[in-house]
Amino acid sequence: MKHNIGIIADDLTGANDSGVQLTEKGINTSVLFDIPKDQNNLDSGVVIDTNSRALSKDEAASVTKQAGQFLKQAGYLSIYKKMDSTLRGHIGTELQALYEVFKPEFVFIAPAFPPLGRKTKDGIHYVNGEKIAETEISKDPKHPVTESFIPKLLENEIGQPIGLLKKADIEAGLSDFRKKVNSFKENEINYIVCDAESQDDLQKAAKKMVQVSDRIIWSGSAGLAEVLPEVLGISEKTDKRSFAKSNRVMTVCGSLSQVTQNQVRYAVDQAGVTAVELDPVQIFGNDWEKLRQNTIKDLLKGLAIGNDIVLYVPSNQKVRDQVMETGKKLNLTGYQIGERISGAIGEIVAAITEKNKDLTGLVLTGGDTAKDTSRHLGGIGFRLIKQVEAGIPLGTLIGTDLEYTVVTKAGAFGKEASIYNAMQELKGVYKDEQ
């Protein structure tokens, strides 16, 4: 099989929401939790989740480089570095790591995802009309984003000059566009940030870039990933892909994002849903085993009366502060705290599914939660099938004894009804009203 495009993502939900853009264009695509040991049985599209958003800068650079070297050796023709559409993570460091592996002429950077309100204008990144550094992302516990001007954000991180293509450059004729890009090259500028306020902007810019250079590393969110297959000429005829429906669904929300909390509330307010709250502070206490068993019992009661079930971690500043304070007392890093929480959630899900073999539909929000839960079920990756909504993919777990159909969602993605819609989709009863 021709290896058309390889994507490297820094967390699982990002891996899935970019990879499913390839699936929607007819490219068989799998997401892998780890760098494969060999190059056998790889799909035309492959996404490697390095989980590097949770790592130190040096560790992130190292694992990204390893993933790049694997894709290079496997002969993938195009390389895409998935970026968070809210700019979290070691984005500059990881681009620099891939630059060292592939030595491209240009690294084209367009993190905009316009359908979800992530737009870039004059190099400044916005979320739903607000500058990114003025949103809740600026207070992210792991990767606060305090600079909205993307070129400056990247320059501060990697110490390299960054070029900027504005809307006027994208709209200009090919000759003027070529001059602009060549001027970057003459000034030894290899990294180029691109404005985008619509999917059309992304497509126009990418189409012009491929006419100027054939040695490009592409970098962006699910937005650029959606237009790239057509631009690169690797789209294929799409067949409608089916999946096994689940009579009941379990939703697991480990994300602390306010968007997810609102979506949980909406889902819990619907008929036929039992919700159980899990206080993350208790996970670190002496009574955790007892609480874990009680949580499992409460969830099983919901299933016993025929309901779908939701397990969620509450989110407010008080809870966040308590978790961090508890972690500090135990000498745990932020990463270790998150690992303990997502691991505990994964154990609960594994216990529930072990007792209910017909519970094969899962909605998982937050990258750490999705990955740890999948691993507890024996998963090594996802085979992507479709999108429920923009940036909210559905796929089947690879490597499990039972066939689990899973929807994953990044914490800050989606509309109020998105989680509930995903639950309905897994049961085969969702009707998209758009």
Torsion over CA: 182, 78, 155, 128 (sign): positive
Contact 267, 273 (CB under 8 A): yes
pLDDT at 43: 94
Q: What is the pLDDT of residue 333?
A: 84
Nearest in space to 219 (alpha carbons), one of 69, 84, 36, 364: 84
If one counts every other C-beta atom within 10 angstroms of the C-beta of residue 159, the result is 9
In the chain, what is the straight-line distance between the N-terminal and C-terminal CA atoms, in Å? 36
Helix (H) or strand (E) holding 388: strand 381-389
Q: Which of 239, 233, 220, 267 is nearest to 365 (CA)?
A: 267
Q: What is the DSSP letter of 119?
A: E
Per-residue confidence (pLDDT) for residue 434, from 0 to 100? 44
Question: What CA–CA distance (Å, rounded) separates 313 from 298?
Answer: 15
Pairing of strands 273-277, 249-253: unpaired
Query: Quick one: 5-232 is in which CATH superfamily?
Result: Putative sugar-binding, N-terminal domain (3.40.50.10840)
- Please report, in tens digits, the pLDDT of each residue of the chain (434 residues total): 689 999 999 999 889 999 999 999 999 999 999 999 888 889 999 999 999 998 999 999 999 999 999 999 999 999 999 999 999 999 999 999 999 999 999 999 999 999 999 999 999 999 999 999 999 899 887 789 999 999 999 999 999 999 999 999 999 999 999 999 999 999 999 999 999 999 999 999 999 999 999 999 999 999 999 999 999 999 988 777 789 999 999 999 987 678 888 999 999 999 999 999 999 999 999 999 999 999 999 999 999 999 999 999 887 778 878 888 998 899 998 778 888 999 999 999 999 999 999 999 999 998 888 999 999 999 999 999 999 998 889 999 999 999 999 999 887 778 999 999 999 999 998 876 54
User: Which residues 6+ apart lie within 8 Å of 401 measured at CB?
Assistant: 378
- Domains 5-232 and 249-427 equal at CATH topology level: no
CATH code for the part of the protein at 249-427: 3.40.980.20
Residue 242 DSSP class = P
Q: Using DSSP, state whether 395 is helix, strand or coil.
A: strand
Domain ranges in the chain are: 5-232, 249-427
